Amino acid sequence: MNSIPRVGFGLWKVAPDECADQVYAAIQAGYRHLDSACDYGNEAEAGQGIRRALDEGLCRREELWVTSKLWNTYHRPEHVRPALERTLSDLALDSLDLYMIHFPIALAYVPFEQRYPPEWIHDPAYPEQGMKLDDTPLHETWAAMEELVDAGLVKHLGVCNYNSALMHDLMRYARIKPLALQIELHPYLAQERMLRLCKQYGIDVVAYSPLGSLSYVELDMDGNMPSLIEHDVITAIAKRVGRTPAQVILRWNVQRGCAVLPKTSRPERLVENLALFDFELDEADMQAIGKLDRHHRFGDVGHFTEHAFNTFHPIFD
């Protein structure tokens, strides 16, 4: 499989004790795109769900698209391959379809045996000290990622949470070009310029938090923004086309050419979130939803690193 399935099952915030069953249920429901990361702390359990699905013949490995991400503490070239190998071991896979730099932030190395996943704060015993930055430049990390493709451990490479300047820079030095950029993307953060830029470079865009604030309410990061699935514009379109508000929002992004990563633990929603390809939004609907753009980023790194990790480290203007 060489193209990213348009709807994926995201593993962010899936509790480890529920992850194996949820991954199995997602594959059983028809998902063939799983989006994982070291930092999510549930890759071993995700691997159990994948193995069960494969053993029971729900699909073949080559029919699954599995993504994972390099965490910030493993940016030094000598740590990149061991980080991937730990992910592959946890997922019980021989290779990944896509491996991405999770954030354009290099943090000081934390050995596996000391803490895994290492998270953001360098020493949890002294949280007031916050994050400990490392001086590894991104081009060195990318070159080490390219070696993973050369070794047959990874099929494609990508990046997450890059801004446009970093994307321009990456395209200047990358020997193996990125297949995809994963960014926060929903009607309150439409990111039209970034979509145009990625199209110009032939890069796929994967939308995380595609339903907006639902991903951030429990983290107290929703900023009291009105819920997208309850917005009058969305609900009116949903009623007219005979779909749920969530389906309308997801279809809007898919119709813009993006892959989406909705998350749910409810079986009926698993099926609902996949059912996006037997209807279309007309141009008036697309424009109406696009006009909801407030340039509002729920997962603002400069905000949450300062408030949660005692380190002001913005990556977006």
Task: Give the tens place of pLDDT for each residue, 125-151.
Answer: 999 999 999 999 999 999 999 999 999
The catalytic residues are 40
> Can you give the pLDDT of all 317 residues of the chain as single tens digits?
678 999 999 999 999 999 999 999 999 999 999 999 999 999 999 999 999 999 999 999 999 999 999 999 999 999 999 999 999 999 999 999 999 999 999 999 999 999 999 999 999 999 999 999 999 999 999 999 999 999 999 999 999 999 999 999 999 999 999 999 999 999 999 999 999 999 999 999 999 999 987 666 565 555 678 899 999 999 999 999 999 999 999 999 999 999 999 988 788 889 999 999 999 999 999 999 999 999 999 999 999 999 999 999 999 98
Tokens of 102: 């999770």
Radius of gyration of the chain (CA): 19
- DSSP summary character for residue 155: E
Which residue bears the tokens 């390099």?
70
Q: How far apart are CA 70 and CA 79, in angstroms?
A: 10
Dihedral sign, Cα of residue 222, residue 224, residue 229, residue 232: negative
Helix (H) or strand (E) holding 194: helix 192-201
Angle at 271 between CA 270 and CA 272, to 5 degrees: 95
Tokens of 294: 């407030």
pTM across the whole model: 0.96
